A and B are shown apart, each in its own frame.
Chain A
């Protein structure tokens, strides 16, 4: 079972991101379960959502406390919420930011993890560029597909199309693919660093 936790703020589509992730897994004939960390949260409040993926039926209903991957849609949460709670050292970390881990003040944490599994992606900037709106959720899923290697980016695209329609869906998908490429570029570069 692969468990992902998504952190963001109300209005950023955190819950939708987890749902799309589960749909992408479903489209690859896997079992998936997405659910929000339920609350009556208003716009701007910290929001958490979860997604489990497995090859067999998922019966477990507890919140994801030891995630395999953490997606941070809003880096301002880093100082506010214990977003890395339970994250394994060999887990995945994806942060929506144009800055480095050091600049974000989490250099210590990142250094303790596998560098090929930790990435910052400027998802909001990509969303603004392709969508014209600062909605990082679908964009980050493209990045997540490349980082985790658990999903095909085409599945993410198909999942996006179930939640958005027409031009909005296509723009989101374009942005998601750009994020996929960005992660690919960073990982290739990182692999070079690691091997040299």
Chain B
């Protein structure tokens, strides 16, 4: 192992390279670009023996990945935001075919309005596509999850997305422990596909299935996810035995014992939340934190277990289901079915809005005092929304919504956050 102070993207590129991918597809989209750039450099320099393809779109990236994985090659790609949506049809296809591709999602908002900054709208929009979705809290965990992801994907023959917050993690320099090749080789066996395009034993992959069997095939996809609920903690334990680190797993409880209020979140915001919770706990607040690492499969039982005894759950989400409310919260409510525990949803960090300690602390205090709406937005400029709605009531041709909103807010270039 080597301690390094490197960019998250570089760390992930090194981790992926250690997993000896045979085919890598690259298409630029912020903020994942540095990852594939790093891999491309390693391939060019001869440090990594892999086929590195610069493709013409994300749709092609995932399609190439489908072909190479079906031909038995360990396959990797990365994308974000519009890119994930552009490849959506192929993303569903990869999981439908049961191809163990590993893909990094550098989480980013979705347009319109076009926005390059972080939130979880991209991964969440494809949460039910049949891929396993793991969320990293730190760059160390992003590295570790990628190494675990290949093992998990190939063991189950299911593709895995490793989600890491765009810019916040991908572009952050922090200390990471990069394993050695020997360690990774000892942990990750070579890829033994369940199905492969092999002239010696021809098979037809991807043919039509009618009503007589479609349900069963889909249930089997669900069964794979249920198997992952067992396998993910097993792989995390095995990872710890090899690398000496706790990384991955289904959920990560923090100070949940005796907590009256537990904050649930995914990804890098957990760090800031823990800092705030530590400060509030020092003031006597019975607060805990539950990080969800595996969003798909969603660990219903484990979450229910971890939340035993708390009165109230505050789900902090970096995306939301427009027209309904929280996405993670809806899943959490399923986990808490019948317990009567209160589930609050607060949406924060959309399109890169900074999630600050002060706003978090205020939100947590409000939640503990039962002063928080069941569904709310952190740091929302209500007056801006109201003014836009008012304008639309008054003027038929009110123009592009986003432009009017920004005119109301005024110049932002001088602001830090």
Say if the beta carbon of A101 comes within 8 Å of chain B: no
Say if the beta carbon of A65 comes within 8 Å of chain B: yes
Given the known interface contacts A19-B7, A59-B271, A59-B275, the answer about A65 and B416 at a Cβ–Cβ threshold of 8 Å is yes
Say if the beta carbon of B333 comes within 8 Å of chain A: no
For A63, list chain B residues within 8 Å (CB): 354, 356, 416-417
For A65, list chain B residues within 8 Å (CB): 356, 416-417
Interface centre among B31, B270, B416, by most chain A C-beta atoms within 10 angstroms, is: B416
- A interface residue count range (under 10 / 10 to 19 / 20 to 34 / 35 or more): 20 to 34
Task: Return B275 CB to nearest CB of chain A, in Å.
Answer: 5
Count of chain B residues with a beta carbon within 8 Å of a chain A beta carbon? 32
Task: Return B89 CB to nearest CB of chain A, in Å.
Answer: 27
Please measure, in the bound complex, the distance between the C-alpha atom of A48 and the C-alpha atom of B175, giving whole angstroms: 21
CB contacts under 8 Å to A, within B327-345, are none
Q: Are B171 and A61 in contact (CB under 8 A)?
A: no
For B3, list chain A residues within 8 Å (CB): 26
Interface centre among A61, A63, A81, A85, by most chain B C-beta atoms within 10 angstroms, is: A61
Say if the beta carbon of B252 comes within 8 Å of chain A: no
Please measure, in the bound complex, the distance between the C-alpha atom of A63 and the C-alpha atom of B117, giving whole angstroms: 13
Residue positions of A touching B, CB distance < 8 A: 5, 15, 18-19, 22-23, 25-27, 31-40, 46, 48, 58-65, 80-82, 85-86
Given the known interface contacts A38-B167, A59-B271, A61-B269, the answer about A33 and B172 at a Cβ–Cβ threshold of 8 Å is yes
Q: Are B174 and A33 in contact (CB under 8 A)?
A: yes
Q: Are A62 and B173 in contact (CB under 8 A)?
A: no
Residue positions of B touching A, CB distance < 8 A: 3, 5, 7, 30-31, 116-118, 167-168, 171-175, 268-272, 274-275, 352, 354-357, 413-417
8 contacts between A and B (CB under 8 A): A5-B416, A23-B5, A23-B173, A38-B352, A58-B271, A59-B271, A64-B416, A86-B416
Kindly report which residue of chain B lies nearest to residue A33, judged by CB atoms: B174
Kindly report which residue of chain B lies nearest to residue A62, judged by CB atoms: B356
Kindly report which residue of chain B lies nearest to residue A51, judged by CB atoms: B173
Q: Are A85 and B416 in contact (CB under 8 A)?
A: yes
Please measure, in the bound complex, the distance between the C-alpha atom of A196 and the C-alpha atom of B271, giving whole angstroms: 48
For A80, list chain B residues within 8 Å (CB): 413-414
Interface centre among B5, B175, B415, by most chain A C-beta atoms within 10 angstroms, is: B5
Q: Are A19 and B175 in contact (CB under 8 A)?
A: no
Task: Contacts A27-B5, A58-B174, A61-B168 known; list 8 others, CB within 8 Å.
Answer: A25-B5, A35-B171, A36-B171, A38-B171, A40-B116, A61-B272, A61-B355, A65-B417
